Structures are given as C-alpha cells and as structure tokens.
Chains A and B, each alone.
Chain A
C-alpha cells in the first residue's frame, strides 16, 4: 500500500524493506533530485551529497561498468572527473565490474556485487557510499539491500532517471555535475583538496 510518509533513510531497516516506489516515493522530474524520499532541487541535493561525503569516516565510491569501460564518447572524461572527485573527497574506489554473483563469495576488500553488496559494506566499515555507472536495475537492487541490512548512507549519481532507493540521488548527471560536486567538496574542506 502506498504511504506518502515513507522515508528512505539509512538502515538497517529490516529483513526485507519494501521498494520505495511501491511506498509512494516518486522519482524527480528533470532538473530536480531526490533526497530521503522527497524531491528537491538539484543544487540542494548536490550540497547535501558534498556534505555527506566530507563528513564521512570512510566514504567509498562504487563505479559500475558504464563508467569503468570507455564504451562511448564522453565516458573516459566522465571517469576522469569521477577520479578527481574521489581524490578531493579522499574516498576509496571499489569497482562493481560485473553483476554476476560470485560463489562461494566475492573478495569484499576489492570488489562489490549488486547481489550481495552488504559483504563489501560491512567488511570495509563503509559509512557513506556513492553509486555511479551502475545499470539502474542492479543499482536499485543493491541500494535496497544496503538500506535493509546496514547503516550505510547511500548516494546515487545517475545518468538516467535517478534512484528512489538511494538516500540521495541525482538524475541526468554527467561531467558537469561531478565537477560541481568536486567544487562543493573543496569548498567545504576550506579550499584545499587532498
């Protein structure tokens, strides 16, 4: 049943949280973003993302195949902008190179998998994570599992329509948004990048 009061907040929410969309959380229109289940203007969301990243004890970026591979014009430049952002934040990168579950288990120190992302979150004590370049279906599954089983704060920088399963999500995000995030991070850190 739809519930307009439903909040997409850091967990652990429980055994099997509902999909946020089914609870009435709607994706933002172009020019907007989504923050803990509410549509906000993109600038507000960007500032909140920068703040979360800067204040995190162990922020980690999870780049997916859409940004790990130079598969179409502009992707390499976007990847470089992401690397610059990570360096400004002081965030580690743990790639999500593939969506196939690995058994008996992945090596959580060096990779993350959408089918069991908790392993990587818990193993590395990640308190804030940022998804980028992950196909939307897999990102939503992983974000919901993280919300259900951990207290990690989730951010999605999406090139498509955004993610209501993330605590903060941008939509239609490209190089400009990554560069703007970097500026905000540097500003919050007092003008110095690490």
Chain B
C-alpha cells in the first residue's frame, strides 16, 4: 500500500494531477474507493456488480480499506451497511438488478435513518425470464426511497461520482445515502479512458459527530441506545411527527443540490440547447444519443442533447426551462416502463412534447440509428 495523504476534496477533484488509464468501469470503482478513505466495505456477488466488490476486496488486502466482509445475501449486506454507518464509519457497497430488489426494504430505511451510505448500483434486468443483461428498470423502483441518485454515463463519471458522493452524503444538512448508478456491462465490463487521481492522496475521513442524528457510540455521551426510536403511536402528534420526519428527508435531498452543483458543475449538461429537438436522457443512453445527434446535425437536423446527471434530486427547474424552448423532446431509455420520460413530463409545462422513445430493454443495445430515426420522424 502506498502511504496516502489526506487532502481537501476540492483539490482532489479539481486540481490534483490525473493519470489516464484504460480500464473497465469495475476497475474505475476500485480506483475511486482506493482514494475514498473508506472504513468498511461489505460485499455480496451479483452480476454485473461482482467484479467491482471483488476488486474492492483486493484493495482491502492491500490496506486501502480498513474492514471488508461478505454478507449472507443482499438484504444482510444492506442491513450490515446500515449498522456500520450508524456506528459512525464511512461505508461502501455495491449491488445491482435482483440484488437491489432483494435488499429493497433497507433502502428507504437508510434514508429515514439519515445514513450517508454510498452504494454503487450496476443496473441489469430483474424480471423473469432471467436476464443478466443491461436494463435500468431498478432505478424506477428506487426513485422514491429518499436515496440521492446519480447516473453515470461512463467509467469516468462512475469514478468521479463515487468520490463526490461521499462528500455530498456526509454534509450535515444532507446526510442521506447516495446511489451511483452505472449501466451494467456497458460501463462495468467495457474498457474506457479514465483519468484517475494520484494514488498517494485520499479524501478526509468521515466525522460522525457532525451528523444531524446522534452517532451510535456507547462510550461517549450523549449516548444513544438506539438510533431511531419508534414514534408510532395511535395519536395525532405521532402521525404528525412521522410525517414531518419524512418531509425532513425530502428537505435533505433538496439541500444536496448546491453541493452536487459544486462538485458536478451542474445537475445537467447541455449541448446545442436552442435546438428544436432536444434529446434528454441519462446513463449510457447519453453516449448513444450524442452519436445520433452528431449524425443528425451533419444531415441538417436541429437536435441538441441534455445529459441528466442527478435523477434525485431531479433537475426539474433546469429541464422545465429548456423544454419551454424546444418543440419536441425525445427520451431514449434502457427500460420498459420509461421512468425518465415520466419524470420529465411531470416537470414541464407541455408534457405532450415528450416522446418516450426509443426504448429498449432486456439487454438489447440501443444503436444510435434508432435515436436518429426518432429525430427524423418527429422533426
């Protein structure tokens, strides 16, 4: 293990000299976690995530992660992660697809307990018949769990978003979990150029004593025997308290916007924003859309691209402003239900502008020609 120096996150993210490596998305996870000053990582395998936590295990063996163990299953992993976080350590895990669904009960619990867990979700199909192939449908289910959701377009995004996620998650006024989503196989198992950070630098450690809830510390006052006592009784005040508690989780997500803008630069990236046709999407669908738009513009078609980086909090005001100028909006997605198109329709003034297509799922690829066809069809 290389001796690491703690540096200011802004220096690490924006000033430190980077080195270009040709690595997979799973290897990008390893490189990020190596510099993330993680106390504990808990693993359980599931395709296409397995390799990433395997590689985190490798850097545990080298001394970059203080503790690492395998859970009994995904529910156990996510519950153990919750316990570790309540105890005041920085914790990381990853899952995907059916693993996400198996652990599902725990995710809103993380948010409700104000746990700054960072979890990578390597998305894949979940329904029968069995598929291990790329699909973003699990994101639809996670939208209202209280977890902040960042969607990586590529391995570089995955690397950077993971590191930034710890810093956002642990802000006192935010302090809720962050999921960093990457499209399985397309990002996890393909090699790409990733600008990684110096190996001898790492993030500052987590200080649980600045948390908005007491850390579970039996040796120091103010001591707590349990983190979140039941507020549930059959009276109005109990209901009002529970409702206010849930509202406070929403408030925490709202407060994350300024930190996400600080670290990501913006919640969305826009290319050719004054175009008649805007293609708005997230994840690897952005890369496919970019290719389609290059061809479209070469052919004289006026199309622009909006890359959504944060699904929660959703960049509603930004999308609404852009949509007001566009004549049509195309939303390509790697899932059956079109959750992103629904999200966009919900925040714009003229939902009929949104064309929820092309849409592929079950592991199908999305050739740029499909998006190009859609641009031609609606222009």
Contact call A19/B240, Cβ cutoff below 8 A: no
Question: Residues 55-92 of chain A: 1 if any B CB is under 8 Å from the residue's CB, otherwise 0?
Answer: 00000000001101111100000000000000000000
Give the nearest-CB partner of A68 in chain B: B222
Contact call B213/A2, Cβ cutoff below 8 A: no
Most buried by A among B209, B221, B222, B230: B222
Question: Complex Cα distance A25/B233, Å?
Answer: 31
B321 within 8 A of A: no
A6 within 8 A of B: no
A154 within 8 A of B: no
B54 within 8 A of A: no
Interface residues of A in 100-148 (CB under 8 A from B): 100-101, 103, 114-116, 118-119, 135-138, 140-141, 144-145, 148
Contact call A141/B244, Cβ cutoff below 8 A: yes
Contact call A22/B241, Cβ cutoff below 8 A: no
B109 within 8 A of A: no
Question: Residues 147-177 of chain A: 1 if any B CB is under 8 Å from the residue's CB, otherwise 0?
Answer: 0110000000000111011000000000000
A8 within 8 A of B: no
A26 within 8 A of B: yes
Given A19-B248, A68-B222: A26 touches B258 (CB 8 Å cut-off): yes
Stretch of B30-38, B123-131, B249-257 lying at the A interface: B249-257
**Could you tell me how many residues of chain B have their Cβ less than 8 Å away from some Cβ of chain A?**
34
The majority secondary structure among interface residues of chain A is: loop
B171 within 8 A of A: yes
Given A135-B214, A137-B212: A65 touches B254 (CB 8 Å cut-off): no
B238 within 8 A of A: yes
Question: Residues 330-358 of chain B: 1 if any A CB is under 8 Å from the residue's CB, otherwise 0?
Answer: 00000000000000000000000000000
Given contacts A16-B243, A101-B238, 12 further A-B contacts (CB under 8 A): A18-B247, A22-B250, A65-B222, A72-B209, A101-B229, A115-B238, A116-B241, A141-B245, A141-B248, A145-B241, A145-B244, A160-B212
Contacts from A to B (Cβ < 8 Å) = 2, 16, 18-22, 26-27, 65-66, 68-72, 99-101, 103, 114-116, 118-119, 135-138, 140-141, 144-145, 148-149, 160-162, 164-165
Give 20 A-B contacts (CB < 8 Å), ordered by A residue.
Answer: A19-B244, A21-B250, A21-B252, A22-B254, A65-B221, A68-B222, A101-B241, A114-B241, A115-B241, A116-B237, A135-B211, A135-B213, A137-B213, A138-B212, A140-B251, A144-B244, A145-B244, A161-B173, A162-B173, A164-B251
